[in-house]
Structure 1
Amino acid sequence: MNLHQLNYFRTLVEFKQFTVAAEELHISQPTLSNSIKSMEKELGCRLVSRSGHSIELTQYDSMFYSTACSTLTVFEQGVKALHDKVRSDAGYVSLACIPTFIGTVLPHVIKAFQEEHDGMPKFVLSNQVSLPILEGLVTDKYKMGICSCDPGYEDLTFIPLYAERFVVAVPQDHPLAAFETINPYMLTSYDLITYSPDIPIGREIRESLEDVWPELHISDTLDGEITIAGEALANNAVAVVADTILLDSFELCKIPLNVSKDTHKVYIVYDPRRQLSHWYRDFTTYLREHLTECEQLSPRRFKAGNHPADPAKEAGPPPSP
């Protein structure tokens, strides 16, 4: 008995028809039928009974299905772990990053890092928003992320990297454009546009506003700075957003928001349960140490997240394998 036969058997049980299972496996129906018969002969029992176009499971089939699934799962996990290890040893870094950083600061840092290490490592980059990045880190789709923090992912390690200031963004002829700073109570008479409450930054902005002045009306919620800025500009509306580089292409006046928690932090994130090569550790350290230098190459200035209150000093860079 071999792994191919186990896979054939698992697929047959799941689809419950020889024809459909054979199509799913890209083999002929006689090949599948002969494989099952061979397994039944080796095990000394009947695994399936035909009933028209479908099959009926026997008591032995149910017992063996669990064994087959467990065996295949362990094998598939082992193959994936080996592939990941080979890629890691070959000098690959799998990194998922939010749009506001992946096309601005990150390319400069990667280029400088590779120049110091003879072109290594090779980066496999994914452009994603925060929640899919966090989920991808949990499922091992990504090895490292640059994104927001979410309390639902407490098993991940978050290292502060930089912060984005909250601002009120309005068209240049809007009455609020005349102010140097905005207090939340000044927004009471306006319908506000901001992020969806389903994403971390959306929840942070709501908490910051409600701490000062809970009687505010949010009329529309969107997923990112581009859609929020476009909506504000088209409708002469008031937006509460993070001051990212994505706002720079819109003719909006950005006024600092006067709240106690006036910034949104972005983190380097990884799963401490995963085995990471030294490249991840080295690049994390390099990125944090050279962020200020990289700012000179970018039109956007960031505040480094390394200050006395940062948990990064306790967390440190990802461990080497």
Structure 2
Amino acid sequence: MELRHLRYFVAVAEELHFGRAAERLHMAQPPLSHQIRQFEEELGVTLLHRSTRKVELTVAGAVYLERARSILQAVDAANRDATRAAAGEIGELSIGFTGSATYELLPGVTRILRAELPRVSLTVKGEMLTPAQVDGLRDGTLDIGLLRPPVHDPELTVHIVRTEPLIAALPEAHPLARNDAVRLADLRDEPFITYPSHFRSVVHDAVLDACREVGFRPRDVTEVSETSTLVTFIAAGLGVAVVPASVRRLEIPGAVYRPLAATTREVELALAFRAGDPDPLLQRVIARLHRFLGGPRPQRTRGDRH
């Protein structure tokens, strides 16, 4: 049995006339009649009663018509889906977001992708540190990461999409919160709330580098993994923090943000994905994210942690 036999039979069964069915199928009537008889012989069932005046479905033919229609509809749907998949319009995709990008970018990215690719099953994972995203990209649980470079893995492609300054996050009641800007050196005696150390957070290292440049190293440090927890601790008066400017999107009563005066330290945000992955959906989403976020620029090749 071939799909064309099903299409021939459905055309004749719906038209109940070989001539009209042949016109619909853009073929001559004799070959169509021959194909239907051959089809019935192969099935061992009579599907159509023929006379000089009319064509009628048998009971078996009526049952077969419904099943044949369902099969052809399923095949047509599969063909459409295959075409859409090849164009990167359907499929599944998982995106990880670093802490600060969770609050600034996750809503916009999700809104754009759901509007433009409604048939894509999208999974988003926020508050992921760079090492966890790299692991996810390696093992396939993530397809795209929005993370803080550098990433030293030859199996991943990393594109810088934006650079942002560091800012101060302070309790609202802190004396320096009244200032338009804060000098980092004025925070030397403050307890610091930071992201994790031990090479788990690029921002942690950038903050320590910035403090070192103005002559101190924070002595009283509390480490937290999630940006929301970090800002909540600040709002509770447990310390101060230096964070990427995008953290300002996370508004928690009791915490305020101020620019850092005379400090040029910045951190980068990058798109990361498996190098050479040909998935058309992945490539389509990466191109769309570049239009939304900017870039691409290659990450720096030197070994510092920026």
* TM-score, L = length of structure 2: 0.58
1:173-198 CA distance string (max 9 Å, x none): 21111222222221223232222223
Give 1:202 shift.
0.9
Shift of 1:156: 1.9
* 2-structure distance, mates of 1:152, 1:232: 33
Amino acid across the alignment from 1:125: V
Native 8 Å contact 1:208 1:259 kept in 2: no
Q: Which runs of 5+ in 2 are unaligned?
A: 1-84, 300-306
Equivalent residues in 2 for 1:118-197 (5 A)? 119-127=118-126, 129-130=128-129, 131-153=131-153, 155-197=155-197
1:311 equivalent in alignment to 2:298: yes
In structure 2, the residue corresponding to 1:214 is in which secondary structure? coil
Provide Cα deviations, 1:133-187, integer angstroms capped at 9, x if missing partner.
Answer: 1111122332221222244435422112334432211122211112222222212
Structure-1 residue corresponding to 2:271: 268
Alignment partner of 1:204 is 2:191:
no
| Superposition deviation, residue 270 in structure 1 | 0.8
- What are the within-5 Å matches in structure 2 for residues 279-318 of structure 1? 279-291=281-293, 304=294, 310-311=297-298
Alpha-carbon distance, 1:129 to partner: 0.7
Matching of residues 82-93 of structure 1 within 5 Å: 91-93=91-93
2:298 partner letter:
P
Q: Secondary structure at the match of 2:278?
A: coil
Mapped to 2, the partners of 1:146 and 1:199 lie a distance apart of 14
Q: Secondary structure at the match of 1:123?
A: strand
Give 5+ residue unaligned stretches, structure 1: 1-84, 292-303, 313-321
Matched residue, 1:67: none
Query: Could you tell me whether the CA contact under 8 Å between 1:225 and 1:246 is conserved in 2?
Result: no
Matches within 5 A, 1:222-301: 222-235=224-237, 237-243=239-245, 244=247, 247-258=250-261, 260-273=263-276, 275-291=277-293
Q: Which has the larger radius of gyration?
A: 2
Q: Distance in 1 between matches of 2:132 and 2:98?
A: 10
CA distance in 2, matches of 1:138, 1:107: 25
User: Percent of aligned pairs with the same residue?
Assistant: 17
After alignment, is 253-262 or 189-198 more displaced?
253-262
CA drift of 1:109 comes to: 3.5
Alignment deviations for residues 235-262 of structure 1 (CA, whole Å, 9 cap, x no partner)? 3532222341563123222111246543
CA distance in 2, matches of 1:169, 1:152: 30
Number of aligned positions between the proteins:
212
Instruction: Check the 8 A contact 1:174/1:236 in 2, yes or no.
Output: no
Q: Do the aligned residues in 2 keep the contact of 1:172 with 1:251 (CA within 8 Å)?
A: yes
1:27-176 mapped onto 2 (5 Å cutoff): 91-102=91-102, 105-116=105-116, 119-127=118-126, 129-130=128-129, 131-153=131-153, 155-176=155-176
User: Cα deviation per residue 1:32-60 (whole Å; 9 max; x = unaligned)?
Assistant: xxxxxxxxxxxxxxxxxxxxxxxxxxxxx
Is the alpha carbon distance of 1:187 and 1:121 closer, same or farther for their aligned partners in structure 2, counting shifts above 3 Å?
Answer: same
Label 1:287 to 1:173 Cα distance change in 2 as closer, same or farther (>3 A): same
In the other structure, the counterpart of 1:37 is: none
C-alpha contact 1:133 1:147 (8 A) present in aligned 2: yes
Give the drift of 1:103. 6.2
Q: CA deviation at 1:286?
A: 1.4
Matched residue SS, 2:251: helix
SS state at 1:290 partner: helix
State whether residues 196 and 204 of structure 2, in contact with CA within 8 Å, keep that contact through their aligned partners in structure 1.
yes
- Which amino acid in the other structure matches residue 140 of structure 2? D
Contact 1:209 1:259 in 2 (8 A): no
Q: Secondary structure at the match of 2:182?
A: coil
